[in-house]
Amino acid sequence: MVLFVNLFVVWYLATRLRDEEKEISHDDKS
């Protein structure tokens, strides 16, 4: 169960970081 929680944490934070990165670069362009 801890493994699934850890997998979720990695997936969630990694996509959060990626999406925030996209938002930042989008703001820079506009």
Partner 1 sequence: MNKPHLRYKNQTPKERYWTIHLVTAFKIFKGLIMLFVGIKLLTLYNTDVAEWFMDFVNRHGINPENKYVVKILEKVTGISNTQIVFFSIAAFVYSALQFVEGIGLWLEKRWAELLTVVATSLLIPVELYEIYENSRLCA
Rounded Cα gap, residues 21 and 5, in angstroms: 24
Q: How far is the CB of 25 from partner 1 (least distance, A)?
A: 15
| C-beta closer to partner 1: residue 3 or 30 | 3
* 7 sits near partner 1 (criterion: CB under 8 A): yes
Q: What is the residue type of 30? A: S
CB-based burial label for 25 (10 Å; 0-12, 13-18, 19+): exposed
* 9 sits near partner 1 (criterion: CB under 8 A): yes
Contacts with partner 1, residue ranges (CB under 8 A)? 2-3, 5-10, 12-17, 19-20
